[in-house]
Structure 1
């Protein structure tokens, strides 16, 4: 069943997520090629979407930092895979944006190959958050990327960004449209996220989901 986030999640899930995401989070590595990927030793959750979808802003909002993940108004600026260590519990991975038309075909192919190799071979990858700008909705390029994730059997969740910029009635229509697009996709997680890095809407719910999917427990955070 496909649905939006709701208030049915146990309060303990939210409490655990608050504790985890309030902890120290540091940049640890960037990778332009598969050979530069850091060692696999912690659960990883990755964020990807079209260029300028708000990936860096969302990562900053999740971790409560203003400038941890570098933000830019220039599409295509993030060209490497960026890794952040959250309290030695989870690795947050900022993947390059796709669909930047002004980048050369050679450069786009290089980015795509790096992303594909990461997704295909990363054994510690638990979840991909596929970000979609709520002002524009899912595009054919998003569908192409979902096709890739389905083929690779990589679990992903559609997460809408910038929901503060759209009316609730329009957001509801968009969610229903996206539900139709992912209903029969085998790797799609059956809950749609709706977030705003500006107002904080949906941030705690996404934190709780990422905590749950990586199997973090309270005992893990006692040290």
Structure 2
């Protein structure tokens, strides 16, 4: 099990980390490469944060909200269509990896199995991968595919952090219940980071906190 027993940050440290995250994600951000095969992966140089989630979870919108761009990560009109790992470099300090959506109902079984094989190989063998941000839709129940991905991340021994999306939609009591539910599920997974974040790409809720969290994993200035 991964050891996450670190002291909680003070209010001053939290404010400092928010400002560090704001500056980092306001920096130069460029698309590097889209890899469809493991042999096409760019050299592992910068720390990497991979974003995973079911199709239509709002992954592209969240990446765009984090970076303050409108179309850096493009959402496909056909869920499950994208089949490549897209690498984006941030200010020579951090790489964000946009993973293909999983759980797409119309995809052939062979395509799903190929996705799992490639993604597992990437997750297990990437030396610079610092964390996977696993996105879950706050409006809907967890799916079997979400649970399977958590188990896959446990097997790959990759630290992952659950982030809820579209949190502007549920009423506050429903969102609080969802956070409790997901928190209990997360505690059952050895590789899961304990803190579950609630975000909205529409209102910006939770975006500063997520930037601050990811900035802690970047190379220092």
Q: TM-score, normalised by structure 2?
A: 0.92
Helix, strand or coil for the counterpart of 1:84? Answer: strand
- Kindly report which structure 2 residues correspond to 1:64-213, keeping only aligned pairs within 5 A, or say none: 64-212=68-216
Show CA shifts across 1:168-188 (max 9, x none): 110111111111111131111
Q: Does 1:33 align with 2:43?
A: no
In structure 1, what is the Cα distance between the partners aligned to 2:205 and 2:154? Answer: 28
Give the C-alpha shift of residue 215 in structure 1: 4.6
In structure 2, what is the Cα distance between the partners aligned to 1:161 and 1:7? Answer: 26
Judge which range, 67-76 or 124-133, deviates more: 67-76
In structure 2, what is the Cα distance between the partners aligned to 1:98 and 1:144? Answer: 10
Helix, strand or coil for the counterpart of 1:120? Answer: helix
Judge which range, 71-80 or 22-31, deviates more: 71-80
Give the C-alpha shift of residue 137 in structure 1: 3.4
In structure 1, what is the Cα distance between the partners aligned to 2:185 and 2:64? Answer: 28
Q: TM-score, normalised by structure 1?
A: 0.92
Are residues 181 and 33 of structure 1, via their aligned partners in 2, closer, same or farther at CA, if it must alter by over 3 Å?
Answer: same
Give the C-alpha shift of residue 24 in structure 1: 0.9
In structure 2, what is the Cα distance between the partners aligned to 1:187 and 1:168? Answer: 28
In structure 2, what is the Cα distance between the partners aligned to 1:126 and 1:137? Answer: 28
In structure 2, what is the Cα distance between the partners aligned to 1:24 and 1:185? Answer: 35
* 1:59 aligned residue (37, 59, 63): 63
Aligned Cα root-mean-square deviation (Å): 1.9
Q: Does 1:17 align with 2:21?
A: yes
Give unpaired runs (5+ residues) of structure 1: none
In structure 1, what is the Cα distance between the partners aligned to 2:141 and 2:212? Answer: 24
In structure 1, what is the Cα distance between the partners aligned to 2:180 and 2:10? Answer: 19
Judge which range, 23-32 or 137-146, deviates more: 137-146
Matched positions, count: 215
Give unpaired runs (5+ residues) of structure 2: none
Q: Quick check: 1:155–1:187 contact (8 Å CA) kept in 2?
A: yes
In structure 1, what is the Cα distance between the partners aligned to 2:164 and 2:68? Answer: 19
